[in-house]
Amino acid sequence: MSVRHKLFLAMSSIILLMGLLFAFLTQSVIWGILRSQLDVDRRHEVTELADRLLAAYEENGRSWETADRVNELPAPDTIGGHKQASYAITSSAGGMIVFRGPLAPQQVRRLGQQQPLYSADGASFRLHYSDEEVASRAIVRAGIGSSVTVFLLGGGILLALLALVIAYRLSAKLTAPLHALLPAIERLGRGEPGVQAPVTSKDEYGQVALAFNQMSDRIRRAEDARKNLVADVAHELRTPLTIARGKLEWIQQSGQAVEPEQLLPLQDELLRLTRLVDELHQLSLAEARRLTLERRPVAMVELLERSLERIRMEAEDKELLLTLNVPPSPVPTLWADPHRLAQVFLNLLANAIRYTPQGGSVTVTVNLLRSPDADLLQVAVADSGIGIEEQHLSSLFDRFYRTDEARNRNSGGMGIGLAIAREFVLLHKGTLEVASSPGKGSTFTVTLPYMTPPMSP
Protein backbone atom coordinates (compact mmCIF):
# COMPACT_ATOMS: atom_id res chain seq x y z
CA MET A 1 0.00 0.00 0.00
CA SER A 2 1.40 3.39 -0.99
CA VAL A 3 1.98 6.26 1.40
CA ARG A 4 -0.78 8.22 -0.32
CA HIS A 5 -3.33 5.46 0.35
CA LYS A 6 -2.16 5.05 3.94
CA LEU A 7 -2.46 8.78 4.54
CA PHE A 8 -5.91 8.83 2.91
CA LEU A 9 -7.14 5.92 5.03
CA ALA A 10 -5.79 7.51 8.21
CA MET A 11 -7.39 10.87 7.47
CA SER A 12 -10.68 9.23 6.42
CA SER A 13 -10.81 7.11 9.58
CA ILE A 14 -10.23 10.14 11.77
CA ILE A 15 -12.89 12.16 9.93
CA LEU A 16 -15.46 9.35 10.12
CA LEU A 17 -14.80 8.70 13.81
CA MET A 18 -15.09 12.38 14.63
CA GLY A 19 -18.33 12.60 12.59
CA LEU A 20 -19.86 9.62 14.37
CA LEU A 21 -18.84 10.98 17.75
CA PHE A 22 -20.30 14.38 16.91
CA ALA A 23 -23.58 12.83 15.69
CA PHE A 24 -23.87 10.65 18.80
CA LEU A 25 -23.23 13.55 21.17
CA THR A 26 -25.62 15.82 19.27
CA GLN A 27 -28.35 13.16 19.30
CA SER A 28 -27.87 12.54 23.01
CA VAL A 29 -27.98 16.24 23.89
CA ILE A 30 -31.06 16.92 21.77
CA TRP A 31 -32.95 13.91 23.16
CA GLY A 32 -32.02 15.00 26.65
CA ILE A 33 -33.36 18.49 25.99
CA LEU A 34 -36.57 17.11 24.46
CA ARG A 35 -37.20 14.81 27.39
CA SER A 36 -36.63 17.57 29.92
CA GLN A 37 -38.81 20.09 28.08
CA LEU A 38 -41.64 17.95 26.63
CA ASP A 39 -42.07 15.09 29.08
CA VAL A 40 -45.23 15.32 31.25
CA ASP A 41 -44.94 13.95 34.76
CA ARG A 42 -47.88 11.55 35.35
CA ARG A 43 -46.09 9.25 37.78
CA HIS A 44 -48.55 10.00 40.59
CA GLU A 45 -51.61 9.34 38.41
CA VAL A 46 -50.11 6.21 36.89
CA THR A 47 -49.17 4.80 40.32
CA GLU A 48 -52.68 5.48 41.66
CA LEU A 49 -54.26 3.89 38.60
CA ALA A 50 -51.98 0.83 38.91
CA ASP A 51 -53.04 0.29 42.53
CA ARG A 52 -56.75 0.55 41.65
CA LEU A 53 -56.40 -1.81 38.73
CA LEU A 54 -54.56 -4.46 40.75
CA ALA A 55 -57.20 -4.20 43.48
CA ALA A 56 -60.00 -4.73 40.95
CA TYR A 57 -58.05 -7.64 39.43
CA GLU A 58 -57.75 -9.36 42.80
CA GLU A 59 -61.40 -8.70 43.78
CA ASN A 60 -62.73 -10.28 40.58
CA GLY A 61 -60.95 -13.57 40.93
CA ARG A 62 -57.77 -12.42 39.32
CA SER A 63 -59.49 -11.88 36.01
CA TRP A 64 -59.32 -8.75 33.92
CA GLU A 65 -62.24 -9.92 31.84
CA THR A 66 -64.58 -10.28 34.83
CA ALA A 67 -63.49 -6.96 36.31
CA ASP A 68 -64.08 -5.26 32.99
CA ARG A 69 -67.49 -6.88 32.55
CA VAL A 70 -68.81 -5.85 35.98
CA ASN A 71 -67.36 -2.36 35.58
CA GLU A 72 -64.98 -2.77 38.48
CA LEU A 73 -62.17 -1.11 36.53
CA PRO A 74 -61.79 2.66 37.05
CA ALA A 75 -63.08 4.98 34.35
CA PRO A 76 -60.43 7.04 32.54
CA ASP A 77 -62.06 10.38 33.31
CA THR A 78 -61.66 9.70 37.02
CA ILE A 79 -57.86 9.69 36.76
CA GLY A 80 -56.58 13.14 37.65
CA GLY A 81 -59.22 14.91 35.63
CA HIS A 82 -57.05 15.08 32.50
CA LYS A 83 -58.69 15.41 29.08
CA GLN A 84 -58.98 12.28 26.93
CA ALA A 85 -57.35 10.14 29.58
CA SER A 86 -56.93 6.60 28.32
CA TYR A 87 -55.17 3.46 29.46
CA ALA A 88 -54.43 -0.03 28.27
CA ILE A 89 -53.29 -3.24 29.92
CA THR A 90 -51.13 -5.66 27.94
CA SER A 91 -49.84 -9.09 28.77
CA SER A 92 -46.19 -9.93 29.14
CA ALA A 93 -46.30 -11.18 25.55
CA GLY A 94 -47.63 -7.81 24.34
CA GLY A 95 -51.24 -8.78 23.66
CA MET A 96 -54.01 -6.27 24.45
CA ILE A 97 -56.12 -7.31 27.49
CA VAL A 98 -57.99 -4.16 28.51
CA PHE A 99 -58.39 -0.75 26.89
CA ARG A 100 -60.41 2.23 28.02
CA GLY A 101 -60.51 5.84 26.83
CA PRO A 102 -61.15 8.00 23.76
CA LEU A 103 -57.61 7.81 22.32
CA ALA A 104 -56.59 5.18 19.80
CA PRO A 105 -55.13 2.01 21.38
CA GLN A 106 -51.95 2.11 19.29
CA GLN A 107 -51.42 5.75 20.20
CA VAL A 108 -51.70 4.92 23.89
CA ARG A 109 -49.32 1.98 23.62
CA ARG A 110 -46.73 3.83 21.50
CA LEU A 111 -46.79 7.31 23.05
CA GLY A 112 -48.12 6.73 26.56
CA GLN A 113 -46.32 6.35 29.84
CA GLN A 114 -45.77 2.79 31.06
CA GLN A 115 -45.53 0.95 34.34
CA PRO A 116 -45.31 -2.78 35.09
CA LEU A 117 -48.07 -4.52 37.10
CA TYR A 118 -47.32 -7.51 39.32
CA SER A 119 -50.17 -9.49 40.88
CA ALA A 120 -50.03 -11.59 44.03
CA ASP A 121 -50.08 -14.83 42.02
CA GLY A 122 -46.89 -13.81 40.20
CA ALA A 123 -48.53 -12.73 36.91
CA SER A 124 -47.00 -9.69 35.25
CA PHE A 125 -48.68 -7.12 33.03
CA ARG A 126 -47.91 -3.68 31.68
CA LEU A 127 -49.97 -0.53 32.12
CA HIS A 128 -49.98 2.10 29.35
CA TYR A 129 -51.38 5.54 30.19
CA SER A 130 -51.91 8.62 28.02
CA ASP A 131 -54.02 11.74 27.81
CA GLU A 132 -54.33 14.71 25.47
CA GLU A 133 -51.31 16.59 26.83
CA VAL A 134 -49.11 13.48 27.11
CA ALA A 135 -49.97 12.40 23.58
CA SER A 136 -49.42 15.82 21.99
CA ARG A 137 -46.05 16.32 23.63
CA ALA A 138 -44.97 12.79 22.78
CA ILE A 139 -45.89 13.41 19.13
CA VAL A 140 -43.87 16.65 19.10
CA ARG A 141 -40.88 14.96 20.75
CA ALA A 142 -40.97 12.03 18.32
CA GLY A 143 -41.26 14.38 15.35
CA ILE A 144 -38.38 16.58 16.40
CA GLY A 145 -36.25 13.56 17.29
CA SER A 146 -36.83 11.83 13.98
CA SER A 147 -36.20 15.08 12.07
CA VAL A 148 -32.91 15.58 13.91
CA THR A 149 -31.96 11.98 13.21
CA VAL A 150 -32.68 12.36 9.48
CA PHE A 151 -30.83 15.68 9.38
CA LEU A 152 -27.79 14.27 11.15
CA LEU A 153 -27.78 11.17 8.99
CA GLY A 154 -28.17 13.03 5.70
CA GLY A 155 -25.82 15.86 6.67
CA GLY A 156 -23.30 13.37 8.06
CA ILE A 157 -23.26 11.35 4.84
CA LEU A 158 -22.89 14.52 2.74
CA LEU A 159 -20.14 15.91 4.94
CA ALA A 160 -18.41 12.52 5.06
CA LEU A 161 -18.34 12.34 1.25
CA LEU A 162 -17.06 15.90 1.03
CA ALA A 163 -14.44 15.18 3.69
CA LEU A 164 -13.32 12.02 1.87
CA VAL A 165 -12.85 13.99 -1.35
CA ILE A 166 -10.87 16.66 0.49
CA ALA A 167 -8.82 14.01 2.30
CA TYR A 168 -7.99 12.27 -1.00
CA ARG A 169 -6.92 15.50 -2.68
CA LEU A 170 -4.99 16.61 0.37
CA SER A 171 -3.17 13.26 0.65
CA ALA A 172 -2.34 13.45 -3.05
CA LYS A 173 -0.99 16.98 -2.66
CA LEU A 174 1.04 16.14 0.43
CA THR A 175 2.65 13.09 -1.17
CA ALA A 176 3.20 14.67 -4.61
CA PRO A 177 6.79 15.81 -3.79
CA LEU A 178 7.56 12.29 -2.57
CA HIS A 179 6.22 10.80 -5.82
CA ALA A 180 8.39 13.26 -7.74
CA LEU A 181 11.42 12.07 -5.73
CA LEU A 182 10.80 8.34 -6.28
CA PRO A 183 11.91 8.19 -9.96
CA ALA A 184 15.24 9.81 -9.06
CA ILE A 185 15.73 7.34 -6.19
CA GLU A 186 14.96 4.42 -8.52
CA ARG A 187 17.41 5.71 -11.13
CA LEU A 188 20.10 6.09 -8.48
CA GLY A 189 19.38 2.54 -7.33
CA ARG A 190 19.82 1.31 -10.92
CA GLY A 191 23.32 2.76 -10.98
CA GLU A 192 22.89 6.30 -12.35
CA PRO A 193 24.95 8.46 -9.95
CA GLY A 194 24.47 12.19 -10.22
CA VAL A 195 20.74 12.07 -11.02
CA GLN A 196 18.92 15.09 -9.60
CA ALA A 197 15.41 15.27 -8.14
CA PRO A 198 13.16 18.31 -8.65
CA VAL A 199 12.97 20.67 -5.66
CA THR A 200 9.36 21.87 -5.69
CA SER A 201 9.05 23.40 -2.22
CA LYS A 202 11.00 24.87 0.67
CA ASP A 203 9.51 22.66 3.39
CA GLU A 204 10.79 19.31 4.70
CA TYR A 205 10.16 17.70 1.30
CA GLY A 206 12.34 20.34 -0.32
CA GLN A 207 15.08 19.74 2.24
CA VAL A 208 14.90 15.99 1.56
CA ALA A 209 15.19 16.64 -2.18
CA LEU A 210 18.18 18.95 -1.66
CA ALA A 211 19.87 16.40 0.60
CA PHE A 212 19.22 13.68 -2.00
CA ASN A 213 20.69 15.83 -4.78
CA GLN A 214 23.80 16.53 -2.69
CA MET A 215 24.17 12.84 -1.85
CA SER A 216 23.71 11.87 -5.50
CA ASP A 217 26.32 14.42 -6.56
CA ARG A 218 28.78 13.10 -3.95
CA ILE A 219 28.17 9.55 -5.16
CA ARG A 220 28.81 10.68 -8.74
CA ARG A 221 32.06 12.35 -7.77
CA ALA A 222 33.13 9.33 -5.74
CA GLU A 223 32.30 7.05 -8.67
CA ASP A 224 34.24 9.31 -11.04
CA ALA A 225 37.19 9.27 -8.64
CA ARG A 226 37.02 5.49 -8.43
CA LYS A 227 36.95 5.16 -12.22
CA ASN A 228 39.79 7.63 -12.66
CA LEU A 229 41.95 6.20 -9.89
CA VAL A 230 43.45 3.40 -11.97
CA ALA A 231 43.96 5.71 -14.93
CA ASP A 232 45.60 8.34 -12.73
CA VAL A 233 47.94 5.81 -11.10
CA ALA A 234 48.85 4.38 -14.48
CA HIS A 235 49.46 7.89 -15.79
CA GLU A 236 51.77 8.69 -12.88
CA LEU A 237 53.67 5.44 -13.24
CA ARG A 238 54.00 5.57 -17.02
CA THR A 239 56.48 8.46 -17.28
CA PRO A 240 59.17 7.22 -14.85
CA LEU A 241 58.82 3.69 -16.19
CA THR A 242 59.16 4.89 -19.77
CA ILE A 243 62.26 6.91 -18.89
CA ALA A 244 63.84 3.99 -17.03
CA ARG A 245 63.02 1.57 -19.84
CA GLY A 246 64.48 3.90 -22.50
CA LYS A 247 67.64 4.42 -20.50
CA LEU A 248 68.14 0.69 -19.95
CA GLU A 249 67.60 -0.04 -23.65
CA TRP A 250 70.16 2.61 -24.61
CA ILE A 251 72.70 1.10 -22.21
CA GLN A 252 72.10 -2.37 -23.67
CA GLN A 253 72.42 -1.19 -27.24
CA SER A 254 75.52 0.94 -26.64
CA GLY A 255 77.57 -2.07 -25.52
CA GLN A 256 79.81 0.19 -23.47
CA ALA A 257 80.69 0.28 -19.82
CA VAL A 258 78.15 2.16 -17.75
CA GLU A 259 79.43 5.19 -15.89
CA PRO A 260 77.85 5.89 -12.45
CA GLU A 261 76.55 9.28 -13.55
CA GLN A 262 74.60 7.59 -16.34
CA LEU A 263 72.56 5.76 -13.71
CA LEU A 264 71.48 8.94 -11.95
CA PRO A 265 68.35 9.47 -14.14
CA LEU A 266 67.29 5.91 -13.33
CA GLN A 267 67.76 6.57 -9.64
CA ASP A 268 65.73 9.77 -9.86
CA GLU A 269 62.80 7.97 -11.52
CA LEU A 270 62.97 5.12 -9.01
CA LEU A 271 62.85 7.67 -6.20
CA ARG A 272 59.83 9.27 -7.87
CA LEU A 273 58.08 5.90 -8.05
CA THR A 274 58.95 5.14 -4.42
CA ARG A 275 57.60 8.51 -3.28
CA LEU A 276 54.38 8.01 -5.24
CA VAL A 277 53.78 4.56 -3.76
CA ASP A 278 54.57 5.78 -0.22
CA GLU A 279 52.22 8.76 -0.55
CA LEU A 280 49.40 6.60 -1.92
CA HIS A 281 49.87 4.20 0.98
CA GLN A 282 49.80 7.03 3.52
CA LEU A 283 46.72 8.55 1.91
CA SER A 284 44.86 5.25 1.96
CA LEU A 285 45.70 4.68 5.63
CA ALA A 286 44.69 8.23 6.53
CA GLU A 287 41.35 8.02 4.68
CA ALA A 288 40.61 4.72 6.45
CA ARG A 289 41.57 6.32 9.80
CA ARG A 290 44.20 3.60 10.29
CA LEU A 291 47.22 5.87 10.30
CA THR A 292 48.79 6.09 13.76
CA LEU A 293 49.87 9.51 15.00
CA GLU A 294 52.96 9.76 17.19
CA ARG A 295 51.91 12.73 19.29
CA ARG A 296 54.34 14.74 21.37
CA PRO A 297 54.70 18.39 22.42
CA VAL A 298 55.40 20.44 19.28
CA ALA A 299 56.71 24.00 19.16
CA MET A 300 54.86 25.18 16.07
CA VAL A 301 56.94 28.29 15.45
CA GLU A 302 60.15 26.22 15.35
CA LEU A 303 58.49 23.62 13.11
CA LEU A 304 57.43 26.35 10.66
CA GLU A 305 60.90 27.91 10.72
CA ARG A 306 62.49 24.56 9.85
CA SER A 307 59.97 24.06 7.04
CA LEU A 308 60.78 27.48 5.59
CA GLU A 309 64.51 26.74 5.71
CA ARG A 310 64.00 23.50 3.78
CA ILE A 311 62.36 25.30 0.85
CA ARG A 312 64.36 28.54 1.08
CA MET A 313 66.76 27.53 -1.73
CA GLU A 314 63.88 26.95 -4.15
CA ALA A 315 62.40 30.30 -3.15
CA GLU A 316 65.69 32.11 -3.73
CA ASP A 317 65.98 30.56 -7.20
CA LYS A 318 62.70 32.34 -8.06
CA GLU A 319 63.61 35.46 -6.01
CA LEU A 320 60.56 34.96 -3.73
CA LEU A 321 60.22 36.74 -0.41
CA LEU A 322 59.52 34.34 2.47
CA THR A 323 57.92 35.84 5.58
CA LEU A 324 56.87 34.31 8.92
CA ASN A 325 54.49 36.37 11.08
CA VAL A 326 53.98 35.23 14.66
CA PRO A 327 51.89 36.83 17.44
CA PRO A 328 53.68 38.87 20.11
CA SER A 329 52.53 36.53 22.86
CA PRO A 330 54.24 33.13 23.20
CA VAL A 331 52.66 30.37 21.13
CA PRO A 332 51.81 27.36 23.35
CA THR A 333 53.14 23.97 22.37
CA LEU A 334 50.77 21.74 20.47
CA TRP A 335 50.15 18.07 21.27
CA ALA A 336 50.54 16.62 17.77
CA ASP A 337 52.59 14.49 15.40
CA PRO A 338 55.48 16.73 14.25
CA HIS A 339 56.36 14.52 11.28
CA ARG A 340 52.84 14.62 9.82
CA LEU A 341 52.44 18.35 10.42
CA ALA A 342 55.80 19.00 8.78
CA GLN A 343 54.55 17.08 5.72
CA VAL A 344 51.43 19.27 5.67
CA PHE A 345 53.28 22.60 5.75
CA LEU A 346 56.05 21.49 3.40
CA ASN A 347 53.40 20.50 0.88
CA LEU A 348 51.58 23.84 1.23
CA LEU A 349 54.85 25.80 0.97
CA ALA A 350 56.02 23.79 -2.04
CA ASN A 351 52.75 24.47 -3.85
CA ALA A 352 52.94 28.16 -2.98
CA ILE A 353 56.47 28.42 -4.43
CA ARG A 354 55.53 26.34 -7.50
CA TYR A 355 52.62 28.59 -8.50
CA THR A 356 54.09 31.97 -7.50
CA PRO A 357 55.83 33.79 -10.37
CA GLN A 358 59.30 35.28 -10.24
CA GLY A 359 59.67 38.04 -7.65
CA GLY A 360 56.52 37.16 -5.72
CA SER A 361 56.05 36.45 -2.04
CA VAL A 362 54.97 33.66 0.29
CA THR A 363 53.76 34.61 3.78
CA VAL A 364 53.11 32.31 6.74
CA THR A 365 50.97 33.83 9.50
CA VAL A 366 50.35 32.28 12.93
CA ASN A 367 47.31 33.29 15.01
CA LEU A 368 45.90 32.18 18.35
CA LEU A 369 42.10 31.88 18.49
CA ARG A 370 40.68 31.75 21.99
CA SER A 371 37.02 31.13 22.84
CA PRO A 372 35.04 29.70 25.78
CA ASP A 373 34.62 26.44 23.87
CA ALA A 374 38.17 25.75 22.68
CA ASP A 375 41.60 27.26 22.00
CA LEU A 376 42.75 26.99 18.40
CA LEU A 377 46.01 27.52 16.53
CA GLN A 378 45.62 28.92 13.02
CA VAL A 379 48.39 28.90 10.42
CA ALA A 380 47.78 30.59 7.06
CA VAL A 381 50.08 30.07 4.04
CA ALA A 382 49.43 32.88 1.54
CA ASP A 383 51.11 33.46 -1.82
CA SER A 384 50.94 36.09 -4.54
CA GLY A 385 50.71 33.48 -7.28
CA ILE A 386 48.38 32.81 -10.18
CA GLY A 387 45.41 31.87 -7.97
CA ILE A 388 42.76 29.24 -8.51
CA GLU A 389 39.42 29.61 -10.27
CA GLU A 390 36.34 29.12 -8.14
CA GLN A 391 35.10 26.00 -9.96
CA HIS A 392 38.27 24.15 -8.93
CA LEU A 393 38.14 24.94 -5.20
CA SER A 394 35.59 22.25 -4.24
CA SER A 395 37.72 19.49 -5.87
CA LEU A 396 41.14 20.82 -4.96
CA PHE A 397 41.65 18.28 -2.14
CA ASP A 398 40.65 15.26 -4.24
CA ARG A 399 43.39 12.81 -5.08
CA PHE A 400 45.09 13.30 -8.48
CA TYR A 401 43.16 16.51 -9.11
CA ARG A 402 44.95 19.28 -11.01
CA THR A 403 43.71 22.60 -12.27
CA ASP A 404 44.09 23.31 -15.97
CA GLU A 405 47.12 25.51 -15.36
CA ALA A 406 48.91 22.66 -13.56
CA ARG A 407 48.31 19.77 -15.94
CA ASN A 408 51.85 19.47 -17.22
CA ARG A 409 54.52 17.76 -15.17
CA ASN A 410 57.02 20.54 -15.36
CA SER A 411 54.88 22.91 -13.29
CA GLY A 412 52.53 20.53 -11.44
CA GLY A 413 52.96 17.81 -8.87
CA MET A 414 51.44 14.36 -8.76
CA GLY A 415 48.07 15.65 -7.51
CA ILE A 416 47.86 13.88 -4.15
CA GLY A 417 49.82 16.26 -1.89
CA LEU A 418 46.78 18.36 -0.88
CA ALA A 419 44.68 15.24 -0.35
CA ILE A 420 47.33 13.89 2.04
CA ALA A 421 47.63 17.26 3.80
CA ARG A 422 43.88 17.45 4.39
CA GLU A 423 43.72 13.90 5.79
CA PHE A 424 46.65 14.56 8.13
CA VAL A 425 44.93 17.71 9.42
CA LEU A 426 41.65 15.82 9.88
CA LEU A 427 43.48 13.19 11.92
CA HIS A 428 44.46 16.04 14.27
CA LYS A 429 40.75 17.06 14.54
CA GLY A 430 41.52 20.21 12.57
CA THR A 431 40.46 21.80 9.29
CA LEU A 432 42.22 22.79 6.06
CA GLU A 433 40.53 25.50 4.01
CA VAL A 434 41.43 27.45 0.89
CA ALA A 435 40.54 30.90 -0.40
CA SER A 436 41.71 32.03 -3.80
CA SER A 437 41.02 34.31 -6.74
CA PRO A 438 42.62 34.16 -10.19
CA GLY A 439 45.56 36.57 -10.37
CA LYS A 440 45.41 37.42 -6.63
CA GLY A 441 47.06 34.39 -5.11
CA SER A 442 45.82 31.70 -2.74
CA THR A 443 45.62 31.28 1.02
CA PHE A 444 45.56 27.85 2.66
CA THR A 445 44.50 27.98 6.32
CA VAL A 446 45.20 25.18 8.78
CA THR A 447 43.26 25.32 12.06
CA LEU A 448 44.28 22.93 14.84
CA PRO A 449 42.79 22.49 18.32
CA TYR A 450 44.93 22.36 21.43
CA MET A 451 44.54 18.83 22.76
CA THR A 452 45.35 17.68 26.28
CA PRO A 453 48.07 15.00 26.49
CA PRO A 454 46.91 11.67 27.93
CA MET A 455 47.55 11.08 31.62
CA SER A 456 50.48 8.84 32.43
CA PRO A 457 49.47 5.47 33.95
Please tell me the pTM assigned to this model: 0.50
DSSP string spanning 269-303? Answer: HHHHHHHHHHHHHHHHHHHTT-PPP--EEE-HHHH
**Residues 6 or more apart whose Cβ sits within 8 Å of residue 276:** 236, 237, 414
Q: At what angle do helices 417-427 and 338-354 cross, to 10 degrees?
A: 150
pLDDT of 67 reads 64
Sequence-distant contacts of 400-409: CB under 8 A, at least 24 apart? 400/228, 400/229, 400/232, 400/233, 400/236, 405/355, 406/355, 409/239
Q: If 0-12 CB within 10 Å is exposed, 13-18 middle and 19+ buried, where does residue 290 land? A: exposed
Q: Are strands 321-325 and 361-370 parallel, antiparallel or unpaired?
A: parallel
pLDDT of 454 reads 62
Q: What residues does each domain of the chain span?
A: 3-38+139-176, 42-130, 204-288, 296-449
pLDDT of 2 reads 67
pLDDT of 270 reads 76
Cα four-point dihedral sign 382, 383, 384, 389: negative
Output the tens digit of pLDDT for each of the chain's 457 residues: 666 677 777 877 887 788 788 888 887 887 777 666 667 778 888 888 888 888 888 888 888 776 666 566 777 767 777 888 888 999 888 888 888 888 888 888 888 888 998 888 888 999 998 888 888 888 887 777 778 788 878 887 888 888 888 888 877 777 777 777 888 888 888 878 888 888 877 777 788 888 888 888 888 877 776 666 666 666 666 767 777 777 777 777 877 777 777 677 777 777 777 776 776 777 777 777 777 888 999 999 999 999 999 999 999 999 999 999 999 988 888 999 999 999 999 999 999 999 999 999 999 999 998 877 778 999 999 999 989 888 888 778 876 666 654 444 444 455 678 888 898 999 999 999 999 989 889 999 999 998 766 654 4
pLDDT of 375 reads 86
pLDDT of 407 reads 42
- Check whether domain 204-288 has CATH 1.10.287.130, yes or no: yes
- Check whether domain 296-449 has CATH 3.30.565.10, yes or no: yes
pLDDT of 112 reads 85
